């Protein structure tokens, strides 16, 4: 990897990777729809709206690998999700195909499988059960990555991110949290591992309370350095006495499942 593009570089994960990957690859190309900090040595900064194929083709030109973080990062109305996360992801993959990009790391989400009950431990082979329009867009990204891997030979690592940040902030995140340095490790595996064609892994640290069997990530060499348990006592104490939504507590997707929920019988 000589030149690596990060889409969505203005978001929390993008800003973190900008720092942690700065001296790993000779050139980082950073793109977002919002203004970014000025380019430093070894950086290129640009602007692109993912729904604009011509603009996406400009930012993808001459890159070897892509970390695709761009798009709407939570639930929203259908039209914004459609343009940013579905049309935008198609545009990025198609531009990458035309530019002969070798690898793409895709930030998908736990919300692509959010309607699995919390007592079910799931792996990368489960059928998607999205919990929201946002989750549908992430399941679409995984399916489209599979097509572009099989038909065009681009190597994809789809990372079903749980919750990224310096520490877990509530009880649910004790199960799905990933630290910045652990996510950096996954990104590097996705860009550098010699044998990746199409893989799904969970973007989580070594959490004792995890709902995920992440053996596929471990098979690729992932060795998380962090875990949520040191934060558990404080997190649980802060949550004591708070009201609980039974739908949010039943499913792995939490409040994404509970929002707009109208089923008479809970899904199994």
- Residue 45 CB coordination number (10 Å): 17
b/e for 99-116, b at 16 or more Cβ within 10 A? bebebbbbbbbbbbbbbb
Q: What are the structure tokens assigned to 102, written together?
A: 């070798």
- Residue 53 CB coordination number (10 Å): 18
d(CA 108, CA 141): 7
Residues 134, 183, 212, 251: which is the catalytic one? 134
Say whether 59 sits in a helix, a strand or coil. helix
With beta carbons less than 8 A apart as the criterion, state whether 20 and 40 touch.
Answer: no
Q: Is 134 a catalytic residue?
A: yes
With beta carbons less than 8 A apart as the criterion, state whether 91 and 53 touch.
Answer: yes
Q: What are the structure tokens assigned to 43, written together?
A: 């950086």
d(CA 208, CA 259): 28
Radius of gyration of the chain (CA): 18
Within 156-223, where are the H helices? 173-176, 180-192, 215-219
d(CA 252, CA 188): 27
> Which residues belong to the active site?
134
């Amino acid at each position: 990897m000589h030149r690596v593009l990060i889409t969505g570089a203005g978001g929390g994960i993008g800003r973190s990777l900008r720092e942690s990957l700065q001296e790993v690859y000779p050139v980082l190309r950073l793109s977002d729809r919002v203004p970014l900090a000025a380019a430093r040595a070894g950086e290129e900064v640009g602007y692109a709206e993912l729904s604009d194929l011509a603009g996406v083709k400009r930012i993808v030109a001459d890159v070897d690998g892509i970390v695709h973080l761009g798009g709407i990062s939570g639930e929203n109305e259908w039209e914004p999700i459609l343009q940013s996360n579905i049309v935008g992801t198609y545009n990025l993959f198609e531009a990458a195909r035309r530019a002969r990009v070798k690898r793409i790391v895709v930030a998908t989400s736990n919300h692509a499988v959010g309607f699995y009950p919390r007592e079910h431990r799931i792996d990368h082979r489960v059928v998607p059960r999205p919990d929201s329009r946002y989750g549908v867009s992430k399941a679409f990204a995984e399916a489209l990555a599979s097509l572009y891997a099989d038909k065009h030979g681009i190597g994809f690592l789809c990372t079903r991110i749980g919750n990224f940040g310096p520490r877990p902030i509530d009880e649910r995140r004790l199960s799905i949290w990933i630290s910045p340095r652990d996510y950096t490790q996954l990104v590097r595996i996705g860009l550098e591992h010699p044998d990746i064609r199409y893989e799904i892994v969970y973007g989580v640290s070594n959490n004792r309370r995890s709902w995920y069997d992440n053996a596929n990530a471990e098979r690729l060499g992932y060795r998380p350095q962090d875990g949520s348990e040191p934060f558990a006592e404080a997190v649980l104490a802060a949550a004591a006495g708070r009201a609980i939504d039974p739908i949010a507590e039943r499913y792995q997707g939490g409040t994404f499942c509970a929002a707009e929920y109208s089923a008479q019988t809970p899904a199994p």
